[in-house]
Amino acid sequence: MAVFTGSGVALVTPFNEDGSVNYDQLKDLVEYHVAHKTDAIIICGTTGEASTMTEEEHIDVIAKCVEFVNKRIPVIAGSGSNCTETAVKLSKEAEAVGADALLVVTPYYNKATQNGLIKHYTTVAESVNIPIIMYNVPSRTGCNIQPATAVTLAKNVKNIVGIKEASGNISQVVKLAQLADGCIDIYSGNDDQVVPLLSLGGKGVISVTANIIPDDVHDMVQKYLDGDVAGSLALQLKSIELCDAMFCEVNPIPVKKAVELAGLCNGYMRMPMTEAEPASVEKIKKAMQDYGGIL
């Protein structure tokens, strides 16, 4: 059984001006997404700026999210690291505070061979009892999970059940789907490729854009799964300008500005993330205005 089907939001983490976590706004965001059809919350991922959190903050944010969600939808906690020992520790702690599943990114900077990835993910998975979704985003990590590697892991490690595919390489996803033959749940990690991945048997998306259009990202997936491919495609094409705007600077700079403009939470970030450039802000505003119903 899939961890979730539909739209999982890669949730931003609200901060105060002094850089501390704003838990009141985090609670508000959780309530917003539960009310607006989001099917799962991914907490402390890239979009949540987990890389700038201390380990204590990281686990506290996961624990608070679990508390706020209160089992209404799955909470998937980012627990990856380029150090296997650290990933194990974070994964165990996330499980202990109630996460329903884990999103584990490939080791970054130091990278890993394909055999290294198999050992890394196997070690992390065997340290916990909850499901793991692997996260393949080579543009950020410099490390690519090859389809054969993903399938080997899914077939040999019982709680490795899914992959967030953000390589942007549709041919690679085609090969993955062909080799997997249903043994691994595939989620789009790119908001502009949701429908293509659904056509390859994908279960949904882990979405940045869902931070501001949660209903439509959910509907995009649900319509496809219900057989309304034309309706799903229409939502995908409608969202392209907005998707482009959300990545006009490195994630999560644009989406943090977007949630601020939409009045959902503060836009404060932790360095080295900085304020969006004026030209980017105008692009984000225009995309939100053109989309309609956000500003």
Name the residues annotated as catalytic.
Answer: 135, 164
Cβ–Cβ under 8 Å, residues 267 and 253? no
Question: What angle do the packed helices 278-291 and 253-261 form, to 10 degrees?
Answer: 60
Question: What angle do the packed helices 55-69 and 84-96 form, to 10 degrees?
Answer: 30
**Residue 81 to residue 104: CA distance in whole angstroms:** 8
User: DSSP letters along 141-159, please?
Assistant: HS----HHHHHHHHHHSTT
- Whole-Å CA distances, 119 to 90, 153, 172: 17, 9, 22
Q: Count other C-beta atoms under 10 Å from residue 72's C-beta.
A: 12
Continuous H helices in the chain? 23-35, 55-69, 84-96, 114-126, 138-141, 147-156, 170-180, 194-199, 214-225, 229-238, 240-246, 253-261, 278-291
**Residue 9 to residue 235: CA distance in whole angstroms:** 17
Cα radius of gyration (the chain): 18
